């Protein structure tokens, strides 16, 4: 179904929009109509141009060519403030709040209710309570945003957009940091907004949720529009074929058997961080992928941080490759052969203003140094080879990491550890914010690292990801390891263990 130019139901008419970045044509003459009071999804691989198109509509990115009409009138946005004046707001994929301000101050920043130069704090709180009641969100008005988890910060972003009474909201990967329950809650909010007449542009790589919530879907590939069609006419397979230009034969590569006598590369005995995790004991063998399941707040990420030395442990012992080690910092963890792909790649995993080359080689820089000087030619050769191995596209080593798509940024985080080959890789939510094509690449990479003898501790909120990749799965609840299940355990078993319901524990 092509664009319906001139239709009275058209809210935004996008015509022949072009956007160029150095060395990249992000959008190439894209034409899309977004109908009023509908949910219009934009899907595509990371780097396909979907987020760029959404941000152009919201004024966060200025196009290099083409036209945009809003409500039948031509517009030219040079900032989100320009778009806001036309009733359009953006809920970012990456959090854009002021960390030091409270929730209520972030929500009403720039639109504070008041009189004669004085802010009406009571009016702010009443309005915030009303918005929270509408959405079902629970937020503490005076709590500083920096103290909130990613999912809670995302809620503040959404409430902030709603507070501005806009007619169109662009959601850029809004559920990437939310739990399943929070995502379903958001979907209910979006349906309510649509039913009240608000238009939603929904950028997402979660294809099942797109089909569940969208009225229409535009598929992009390499900056080109593949098609726009009613969501009811699409399936997950048809969207994947449009995004990739081919069908995705299987989501997960086949598992390889781990010999029962494979050496243990990571052994944690009664590892404790008081008040956070208690008496956690587990093993990971060479070539084995061990999954860690649990609800948000169960202690999964906290366990990863303690094992990596980012947070101190109060008690317990850790062995790496058969040797007892005392890891008190990430530097010591790397020296002992333990690496971490963190949950928050931008905040903890990357130097965003650094180049691709600098981010890839920083963990193994000693191998390229002689007499205090970096040997740039071997460094570049090694980084180039690793970039190819993780299928970084385009493999431009001098490009700032901040300009890469989410999937390519995550590939750079993985690439860093390929330069120093640790004995153990801890991967915390390794495919969060990553599209289906890049996911497959990362899955294959995790499996290939295991096949080469690395032990992998895989933390994920996606149960399908755990059962698709892991040989064994341990389940955490309230800071404790409560169950161990085989890798082919079904979703009901994992949820039962995570929620603390009756279940049959299995020891592999």
- Cα separation of 136 and 188, whole Å? 9
**Predicted pLDDT of residue 438:** 79
Spatial separation of the C-alpha atoms in residues 449 and 306, rounded to whole Å = 23
Q: Which residues pair with 221 in a beta bridge?
A: 224
Percent helix, strand, coil in the chain (nearest 5)?
A: 35, 25, 40
Question: Taking the CB of residue 34, how many other CB atoms lie within 10 A of it?
Answer: 26
Q: What's the pLDDT score for residue 174? A: 82
With a CB cutoff of 8 Å and minimum separation 6, the contacts of 128 are: 103, 104, 107, 108, 139, 141, 159, 163
pLDDT digit of tens for each residue in the chain (508 aa)?
Answer: 344 444 559 999 999 999 998 777 899 999 999 999 999 999 987 678 999 999 999 999 999 999 999 999 999 999 999 999 899 999 876 677 899 999 999 999 877 776 656 778 888 999 999 988 887 788 999 999 999 877 788 788 888 888 888 899 999 888 766 767 778 888 888 998 899 889 999 998 888 889 999 999 999 998 999 999 999 999 988 988 888 776 655 578 888 899 989 999 999 999 999 999 999 999 999 999 999 999 878 999 999 999 999 999 999 999 999 999 999 999 999 999 999 999 888 778 788 888 989 888 887 777 777 877 878 888 888 888 888 888 887 778 888 888 887 788 888 988 888 878 899 999 999 988 777 777 888 899 999 999 999 999 999 988 888 999 999 999 999 999 999 999 988 877 888 888 775 443 433 3
pTM above 0.85, yes or no: no
Nearest to 178 by CA among 148, 151, 214: 151
Q: What ranges do the domains of the chain cover?
A: 10-244, 250-337+422-508, 351-421
Task: Please count the other Cβ atoms lying within 10 Å of the Cβ belonging to residue 321.
Answer: 18
> How far, in Å, CA of 327 to CA of 336, rounded?
8
The residues with which 173 forms a beta bridge, in sequence order, are none
The DSSP-derived string for 115-160 is ETTEE-HHHHHHHHHHHHHHHT----TTSBGGGS-HHHHHHHHHHH
- Cross-strand pairs, 266: 284, 320
Contact status, residue 309 vs residue 330, Cβ threshold 8 Å? yes
pLDDT computed for residue 365 by the predictor: 72
Give me the pLDDT at residue 246, please.
65
Say if residues 425 and 454 touch (Cβ distance below 8 Å).
Answer: yes
Do the domains 250-337+422-508 and 10-244 match in fold? yes
Q: CA–CA distance from 474 to each of 165, 254, 298 (Å)?
A: 45, 20, 12
**Distance between CA atoms of residues 121 and 104, nearest Å:** 9
pLDDT of residue 311: 94
Burial label, 459 (beta-carbon count in 10 A; 0-12, 13-18, 19+): buried
Top-level CATH class of 250-337+422-508? alpha beta
Q: What are the residues facing 472 on neighbouring strands?
A: 290, 486
Determine the pLDDT at residue 505.
41
For 110, counting Cβ atoms within 10 Å of its Cβ (0-12 exposed, 13-18 middle, 19+ buried), the class is exposed
Tell me the CATH architecture of domain 10-244: 3-Layer(aba) Sandwich (3.40)
* Closest C-alpha among 458, 503, 502, 508 to residue 488: 508
Measured in residues, the chain has a length of: 508
3-state secondary structure of 68: strand
């Amino acid at each position: 179904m092509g664009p319906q130019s001139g239709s009275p139901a058209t809210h935004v008419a996008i015509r022949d929009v072009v956007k160029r970045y150095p060395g990249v044509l992000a959008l190439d003459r894209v034409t899309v109509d977004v109908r009023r009071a509908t949910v219009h999804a934009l899907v595509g691989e990371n780097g396909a141009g979907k987020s760029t198109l959404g941000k152009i509509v919201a004024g966060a990115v200025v196009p290099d060519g083409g036209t945009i009409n809003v409500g039948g009138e031509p517009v030219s946005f040079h900032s989100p403030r320009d778009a806001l004046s036309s009733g359009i707001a953006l809920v970012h994929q990456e959090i854009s709040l002021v960390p030091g301000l409270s929730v209520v101050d972030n929500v009403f920043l720039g639109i504070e209710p008041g009189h004669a130069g004085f802010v009406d704090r009571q009016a702010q709180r009443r309005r915030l309570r009303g918005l929270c009641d509408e959405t079902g969100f629970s937020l503490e008005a005076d709590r500083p945003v920096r103290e909130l988890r990613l999912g809670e910060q995302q809620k503040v972003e959404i409430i902030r957009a709603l507070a501005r009474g806009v007619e169109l909201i662009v959601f850029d990967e809004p559920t990437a940091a939310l739990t399943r329950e929070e995502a379903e809650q958001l979907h209910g909010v979006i349906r309510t907004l649509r039913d009240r007449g608000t238009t939603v542009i929904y950028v997402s790589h979660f294809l099942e949720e797109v089909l569940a919530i969208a009225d229409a879907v535009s598929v992009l590939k390499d900056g080109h529009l593949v098609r726009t069609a009613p969501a009811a006419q699409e399936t997950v397979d048809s969207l994947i074929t449009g995004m990739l230009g081919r069908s995705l034969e299987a989501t997960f590569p086949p598992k390889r058997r781990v010999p029962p006598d494979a050496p243990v590369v990571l052994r944690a005995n009664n590892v404790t961080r008081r008040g956070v995790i208690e008496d956690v004991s587990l093993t990971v063998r060479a070539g084995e992928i061990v999954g860690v399941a649990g609800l948000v707040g169960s202690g999964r990420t906290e366990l990863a941080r303690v094992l990596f030395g980012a947070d101190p442990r109060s008690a317990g012992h850790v062995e790496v490759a058969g040797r007892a080690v005392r890891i008190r910092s990430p530097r010591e963890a790397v020296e002992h052969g333990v690496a971490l792909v963190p949950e928050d790649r931008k905040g903890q995993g990357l130097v965003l203003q650094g180049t691709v080359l600098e981010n890839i080689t920083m963990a193994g820089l000693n191998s390229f140094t002689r007499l205090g000087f970096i040997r740039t030619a071997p460094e570049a050769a090694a980084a180039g080879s690793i970039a190819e191995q993780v299928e970084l596209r385009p493999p431009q080593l001098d490009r700032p990491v901040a300009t890469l798509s989410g999937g390519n940024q995550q590939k750079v985080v993985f690439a860093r550890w390929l330069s120093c080959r640790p004995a153990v890789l801890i991967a915390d939510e390794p495919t969060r914010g990553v599209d289906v094509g890049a996911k497959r690449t990362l899955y294959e990479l995790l499996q290939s690292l295991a096949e080469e003898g690395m032990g992998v501790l895989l933390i994920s909120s996606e149960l399908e990801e755990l059962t698709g990749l892991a040989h064994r799965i341990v389940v955490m609840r309230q800071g404790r390891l409560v169950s161990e299940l085989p890798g082919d355990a079904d979703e009901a078993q994992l949820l039962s263990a995570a929620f603390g319901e009756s279940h049959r524990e299995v020891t592999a």
